[in-house]
Amino acid sequence: MPVNNEQLVGEIKRLKQEREALILSHYYQLSEVQDIADFIGDSLELSRRAASTPAKVLVFCGVHFMAETAAILSPGKIVLIPDLEAGCPLAAMVTAPDVQEMKKRLPGAAVICYVNTTAAVKAESDVVCTSANAAQVVKSLPPGQKVLFVPDKNLGYHAARQNPDREFVFWEGYCHVHDRISAEDIITARQANPAAMVVAHPECRPEVVDLADETASTSGILRYARENPARDFIIVTEQGLLHQLRKENPGKSFNLASPALVCPEMKKITLEKVLRCLVTLGPRVEVPSPVRERAVRAVERMLNIS
Ligand code: SF4
């Protein structure tokens, strides 16, 4: 077994070629994991790449629902996750029976589920959305149709603000990483750096979003930082995004609004685990056909919108 990072990276690269595998990494991964990836992106970009690549083996460096979404869109490919225990607590906040029960209570409502859900929840939903396209997905529904938005209430509020004529029912889920940031955290960060632009992820609470100069998904934050002439930015999303922000913008300064913006689940993936899964071709993420066939409809409906 390699003993240092250089040896690990060398062995990962060698085995990746041997296995004809593609390594995909989410922006919230450890820097060294992002650096060995063939492609880095948000959950939607990664799933699209997973579906379009000719590679037959995909190593998905992220949390479980992301690998599952790749498996939904890529039947026939081997989807590996370096640590099966890396799960998203937000995705665990709503289950398929929860959605079935809500559908009985809200007949005629369209169910929009955030991509941060299990395949079984996607199978119960009409359409999937991401943090980049939630408002757009709502707008695509017939006028007057009520919306059940699961599971992230903060993203739901954000989409609802851009669709004020629509009636919403929100599931009471939240991302514990983004939701723990308070308005006071933003005020304190701004006082320390008054010239900085504040950019928040829509999983943050509405009062935090209100204090930000811009609200955007991870890929949207990268775009904003690239295009905005400001030199200083206060970032209100998970710490891992700083790695790409700094790489892409060497002359600019990026600081987190709070040191609490770290997702321990995302940090479970290590170089050692990436290597082990290339050696063993496991653990695999598979979605049973009946669930996949229903879930893929909701995912493809979103892909046709955005
Ligand atoms: S940052 Fe939040 S939404 Fe993303 S994986 Fe962690 S808990 Fe889930």
Question: Quick one: pLDDT at residue 44?
Answer: 79
Each residue's pLDDT expressed in tens, for the chain with a length of 306 residues: 677 889 999 999 999 999 999 999 999 999 999 999 999 999 878 988 988 999 999 999 999 999 999 999 999 999 999 999 999 999 999 999 999 999 999 999 999 999 999 999 999 999 999 999 999 999 999 999 999 999 999 999 999 999 999 999 999 999 999 999 999 999 999 999 999 999 999 999 999 999 999 999 999 999 999 999 999 999 999 999 999 999 999 999 999 999 999 999 999 999 999 999 999 999 999 999 999 999 999 999 999 986
Going across the sheet that includes 147-150, the strands are 127-129, 110-114, 147-150, 168-170
In CATH terms, the fold of domain 181-256 is Rossmann fold (3.40.50)
238 lines ligand 1 (CB under 6 A): yes
Domain ranges of the chain: 5-87+266-286, 91-173+291-305, 181-256
199-217 as b/e: b if 16+ CB within 10 A: bbbbbbbbebbebbebbbb
Global pTM value: 0.97
The DSSP bridge partners found for residue 200 are 215, 236
CA of 43 relative to ligand 1 center, distance in Å? 11
Q: Which residues pair with 245 in a beta bridge?
A: none
Asked if residue 116 has its Cβ within 6 Å of ligand 1, the reply is yes
For ligand 1, is residue 86 a contact (CB within 6 Å)?
A: no
User: Which of 265, 268, 269 is the best mutation target for the ligand 1 pocket, counting ligand atoms within 8 Å of the beta carbon and taking the most?
Assistant: 265
- pLDDT on residue 306: 60
- Rounded to the nearest angstrom, the distance between the alpha carbon of 181 and the centre of ligand 1 is 14
Please indicate whether residue 263, judged by its CB atom, sits closer than 6 Å to ligand 1. Answer: yes
CA–centroid distance, 236 to ligand 1, in Å, is: 13
Q: Which CATH number fits domain 91-173+291-305: 3.40.50.300, 3.40.50.150, 3.10.25.10, 3.40.50.10800?
A: 3.40.50.10800
- Taking the centre of ligand 1 as the mean of its atom positions, its distance from the CA of residue 1, in whole angstroms, is 31
With contact defined as beta carbons under 8 Å apart, do 113 and 151 qualify? yes
Please give the Cα distance from 246 to 305 (Å, whole number): 32
91-173+291-305 and 181-256, same CATH topology: yes
Q: What is the pLDDT of residue 206?
A: 98
Q: Hey, what CATH topology would domain 5-87+266-286 get?
A: Rossmann fold (3.40.50)
Give the end-to-end CA distance of the chain in Å, rounded to a whole number. 44
Beta bridge partners of 41: 26
pLDDT at 47: 80
